[in-house]
Homo-oligomer: A and B are copies of this chain.
């Protein structure tokens, strides 16, 4: 005697008996309703409802070679403060997947190599149909490995550094985000608008830098010496902002590549007896929960992860439908959430 789960499963056979039709007819009622005569369909559906039938996933999976599961690796949230975006994304992905009758299967891995082992394991056992990858980076081994085997997957993140992408991806247009931030500050009357970002080399960081640069140049604003870059983090942001604010001609607007940096910038502003939002404007990136919680409210660029998630699922569904689809990418424009800091 096992646990309660042992309860007799309601099988296709049982429903067929109840509706006085064959197994296959019930199966068709669910998978190919157009094949049935209207009254047969109605009868079948009624029996399905009254008996509360759900097809056994294992049996279906065994026969159709599809588990209706999408693999996703959650990573140990590194900095912590930015993990919130991935958290929102995970939730959105889960909801989006449900629309296509997919579920998410989670697994962990400490690095890319063991993530690949995870793929291998899951695929060999036919446990998942496809993967969603997050946090793509330059020379990503994972995408290469999956592409070589022509396995279905979509990345949340561009194929950084690849001239012509070999796979499907969805990403948020970081440059458009920082660009919007600059435009926003210009409308607020700012002229000297600086950028606080990460060291060159990271795709995401460079992208956000590009947006600032583009907007500043397009509007004929000063640019010289107004871009400072250092590692992510509150303390780092404070130091970088301090350097800017202590210039002979300090900027009045600070566009940051992350909320962590922006938090630090806010502190540097306060350190100097200035008031954020009145004397100096600060804009963050990612609209993490702290952005709302912090003192005057931090204006921040919000990634529309819900849109990204549905785009990803859509691309995935195409790729799983059977027809071979060429690699495709989608850039989603983020939105600026205005708060007290600007």
Q: Can you list 16 A-B pairs, Cβ within 8 angstroms, ordered by A?
A: A3-B151, A54-B121, A56-B125, A57-B58, A58-B61, A58-B67, A58-B126, A80-B84, A84-B87, A94-B107, A103-B127, A104-B107, A105-B106, A233-B293, A267-B295, A290-B290
CA distance A77 to B83 in the complex (A): 12
Please determine whether B74 and A83 come into contact, CB atoms closer than 8 angstroms. Answer: no
Question: Which single member of B53, B150, B289, B290 contacts A3 (CB below 8 Å)?
Answer: B150
Question: Can you name the residue of chain B whose Cβ is closest to the Cβ of A2?
Answer: B322
Question: Can you name the residue of chain B whose Cβ is closest to the Cβ of A147?
Answer: B4
Question: Can you name the residue of chain B whose Cβ is closest to the Cβ of A80?
Answer: B289
**Residues of B with C-beta under 8 A to A288:** 80
Does A218 make an interface contact (CB < 8 A)? no
With contacts A54-B121, A74-B91, A108-B94 taken as known, whether A4 is within 8 angstroms of B293 at the C-beta atoms is: no
With contacts A9-B126, A81-B293 taken as known, whether A98 is within 8 angstroms of B107 at the C-beta atoms is: yes
**Residues of B with C-beta under 8 A to A83:** 84, 87, 289
- Apart from the given pairs A4-B150, A84-B84, A234-B294, 15 other A-B contacts in the complex at a CB distance below 8 Å: A3-B152, A5-B123, A5-B152, A9-B126, A10-B124, A57-B58, A57-B61, A59-B62, A77-B289, A81-B289, A83-B87, A103-B127, A260-B293, A263-B293, A267-B295
0 or 1 for each of A37-78: is its CB under 8 Å from B? (1 = yes): 000000000000000111111110110010101000010110
Name the interface residues of A1-30: CB closer than 8 Å to any CB of B. Answer: 1-7, 9-10
A148 → B minimal CB distance (Å): 9
Please determine whether B106 and A94 come into contact, CB atoms closer than 8 angstroms. Answer: yes
CA distance A98 to B127 in the complex (A): 14
A308 → B minimal CB distance (Å): 16
**Residues of B with C-beta under 8 A to A98:** 107-108
Please determine whether A3 and B87 come into contact, CB atoms closer than 8 angstroms. Answer: no
Please determine whether A105 and B108 come into contact, CB atoms closer than 8 angstroms. Answer: no
Question: Can you name the residue of chain B whose Cβ is closest to the Cβ of A270?
Answer: B270
**Residues of B with C-beta under 8 A to A59:** 58, 62
Please determine whether A126 and B74 come into contact, CB atoms closer than 8 angstroms. Answer: no
0 or 1 for each of A188-232: is its CB under 8 Å from B? (1 = yes): 000000000000000000000000000000000000000000000
Does A90 make an interface contact (CB < 8 A)? yes
**Residues of B with C-beta under 8 A to A95:** 108
Question: Can you name the residue of chain B whose Cβ is closest to the Cβ of A75?
Answer: B91
Please determine whether A74 and B90 come into contact, CB atoms closer than 8 angstroms. Answer: yes
**Residues of B with C-beta under 8 A to A4:** 149-152
Name the interface residues of A97-140: CB closer than 8 Å to any CB of B. Answer: 98, 103-108, 121, 123-127, 129
